[in-house]
Amino acid sequence: MVGGNKGYIPSPFRRDQIWFVGKGQRGATDLYSLAEIKLPKGTKVRNDAAFEPNYIPGRYGAVPFLADLADVAKEVVGGEANKAE
């Protein structure tokens, strides 16, 4: 759902259907849903909130990985080729 339009983009998903994965301070994986997130004032994320504008800067805790997929594919393929040698 990444795009150039920073306006409201309605999500087809409910808060309990959106999950995040992050690394804790000790390197353990943390899995949690958007429904579990508490905002600074102790409130929850609204059902009609635009999730993308808060996700991109990492406000939900999970840091987005926004690499160029072509570069990632080259790295993976290149890594596999190096293993075969």
Q: Domain locations in the chain?
A: 15-84
Comparing 9 with 75, which gets the higher pLDDT?
A: 75
Strands (E), the chain: 19-23, 29-33
Please tell me the predicted confidence (pLDDT) of residue 4.
Answer: 41
3-state secondary structure of 84: helix
As a whole number, the mean pLDDT across the chain is: 74
Q: Which residues of 47-71 are buried (b: 16+ CB within 10 A; e: fewer)?
A: eeeebbeebeeeebebeeeeeeeee
72 neighbors 79 (Cβ within 8 angstroms) = no
| Residue 65: alpha-carbon gap to chain centroid | 7
Residue 2 has pLDDT above 50, yes or no: no
Please tell me the predicted confidence (pLDDT) of residue 52.
Answer: 79
27-49 per-position pLDDT tens digit: 888 889 999 998 888 899 888 78
With a threshold of 0.85, does the pTM exceed it? no
